Amino acid sequence: MADSSSTPAASGDDTNYVVVARRYRPQSFTELLGQDHVAKALGGAIHTNRVGHAYLFTGARGVGKTSTARILAKCLNCVQGPTTTPCGECDICQGVSQGSDVDVLEIDGASNRGIDEIRELRQNVNVRPSRARYKIYIIDEVHMLTTQAFNALLKTLEEPPEHVKFIFCTTEADKIPITILSRCQRFDFAGIETRSIADRLAQIAAAEGVHADADALAVLARRANGSMRDSQSLLEQLLSFGGERITVEDVQRLLGTVGDERIEALVDAILVHDAATALGELDRAFTQGVDPSLLMDQLLGYLRDLLVAAAGCGPESFRFTSNAQQQQAVQTGRRLGVDTVLALIQVVDQTLSRMRFSTYGRTLAELAVVRLSRMENLVALSDLLGALRSGGDVQVSLPAGAATMSPGDPKKKVAESPVPASVTTMPEVTDAPAPAVAELTEATVESVWRNALARVTDSLGVAAGFADGVRLVAPNRLAVVFSAQYDSYADLCRKPDKLARLEKALYDATGRVVKIDIEVAGNGAAAERSNTPAETRPAVKRNRLKEVSEQPFVRRAMELFEAEPVNVDDSQVAPPE
């Protein structure tokens, strides 16, 4: 770790203050965190005298690309080198660390991206270094160079003078031409582990004379999402408060997030289908000034760890859950199962996507929480089919507030129409179907439908998920019922290709050709439209227009509209019947 007492910041002169991210930059390969594969490869190249003439360092922001470039420059130009352990005390090492060495030129690719700057670079590469062993060009954000600039650099990059080394750093390697990539040795920098970031932040806090709670640093490390520089910038903000201790409450106040216990309470309310309690937790969080998108982002991270637990992994694979929550998260995830957690994650993910383009973030968050609270555990498809094959009873639980719709219940009567003679053709099945199950009954139809939805994960699955109920109208025919407010989702599911996918999912789940009717409760026209074959709908529309045009009032209005204005006699217009 760099000695802070040797930096200008230690003098107490505010004009010379250097931020934490710069003062505690790694100065050797041993201090480089999370990039052991890069340090080992570069160290081996130096030991065996196989240092290339061009390197490309690529990875996310704040993972050590530029710091590694400076370390490599010091290793090559140190007075005791080439060595993997530069002294850090000679003028060359000091100059490289401060970015002022005359033979190590750091170039910003975003502001020096034109062909003129590259032509000047080509002219200067032939000039030998003034005092060091190599002239090293470090070009940051190299993907910002223009196509003409890259083309001008090709020949020099392929056969540079023996005293020149190129080190390119970028966050978007896919934007670099392949002709440049083929001339470089590429190293991909991975995101830094949360535990390593937390340990480094603890060292920095101790060096700054501040006590930081381990839980507080863990929250900072998780928020940094693998970026060491981001975590150090957040720590800098906390240090600027001037306190002698950093607590979890300080971190949450800085980040605008809620505590882990609030997320856990929100998830508990969702899992017991208590929408009122869940909305109350949201309201308390928003009252404290928490941003809705950040809260949903935290919820998504917690659900991600539940998914990991449901898949069978242990707490060591968690990324967003604190140590105190881990055991509870393992139990909750394994109790819910993968299918249920996937459905929960899909709702939250779609809500976050909508929040980016909406000013009603709180309303969208509340909508998502209510939808999550109404979602029941999805029965494992294999368990359901096993119960159906054995003839045993299948326990089906409906979402809170939903009811099974049956033709014999007058309180839940929906618009009915005759079964059409022409139905959607069953799509071609490429995989072996499941064994045919026993005849569907009202007791099993809801479970079969919900498990079929799990097979359709795109927008169709979301639309079909808004259905208020499903009922059996024939041994192998289902009626999926939407309320009037979800008429648009019903229209989406009525499309022939969408309907075919739903029927294909039912076929995979049951081994039977199960036909689907889409109905809208309380909307006879919509129900009639759903049961009209697609190929006959234009004729139906023409018949309706003909019926309207033959009404006396409409016929007389058309005659008046087509007549000359001088011949119009308003007294001849009969009132509507």
DSSP assigned state of 380: P
Gyration radius from the chain CA atoms: 34
DSSP assigned state of 396: -
Asked if residue 368 belongs to a domain, the reply is yes
Q: What's the domain count of the chain?
A: 4
The pTM score is 0.61
Asked if residue 9 belongs to a domain, the reply is no
* pLDDT value for 253: 84
Residues 266, 299: Cα–Cα separation, whole Å? 9
**Which two tokens mark 371?**
């939808």
Cβ atoms within 10 Å, residue 179: 13
What is the DSSP annotation of 16-49? G---HHHHT---SGGG--S-HHHHHHHHHHHHTT
Q: Establish whether the linkage from the previous residue to 82 is cis, with ω within 30° of 0.
A: yes
Task: Dump pLDDT digits (tens) for 14-55.
Answer: 567 888 888 999 999 999 998 999 999 999 999 999 999 999
* pLDDT value for 544: 64
Q: Residue 442: which domain range? A: 381-406+432-531
* Residues 557, 507 share a domain: no
* pLDDT value for 537: 53
Name the domain boundary from 129, 154, 189.
Answer: 189
* Residues 490, 549 share a domain: no
Q: Is residue 119 a contact partner of residue 87, using CB atoms and an 8 Å limit? A: no
* Residues 37, 185 share a domain: yes
* Residues 172, 274 share a domain: no
Asked if residue 244 belongs to a domain, the reply is no
Asked if residue 216 belongs to a domain, the reply is no
Burial of 420 (0-12, 13-18, 19+ CB in 10 A): middle
Helix (H) or strand (E) holding 539: helix 537-549
Helix (H) or strand (E) holding 56: strand 54-59
Asked if residue 344 belongs to a domain, the reply is yes
* pLDDT value for 450: 75
* Residues 342, 476 share a domain: no
Give the CATH number for residue 121.
3.40.50.300
* Residues 548, 469 share a domain: no
Asked if residue 489 belongs to a domain, the reply is yes
Tell me if residue 519 falls in helix, strand or coil: strand
Helix (H) or strand (E) holding 212: strand 211-212
First-to-last C-alpha distance (Å) of the chain: 92
Give the CATH number for residue 471.
3.30.300.180
* Residues 386, 367 share a domain: no
* Residues 558, 498 share a domain: no
* Residues 142, 48 share a domain: yes
* Residues 387, 509 share a domain: yes
Asked if residue 418 belongs to a domain, the reply is no
Find the angle CA(555)-CA(557)-CA(559) to the nearest 5 degrees. Answer: 70
Q: Could you give the angle at which helices 292-310 and 260-271 cross, rounded to 10 degrees?
A: 70
Residues 448, 281: Cα–Cα separation, whole Å? 34
* Residues 185, 36 share a domain: yes
Segments of the chain with pLDDT less than 70: 1-15, 242, 376-439, 457-459, 485, 522-545, 547-548, 553-554, 561-577
* Residues 386, 363 share a domain: no
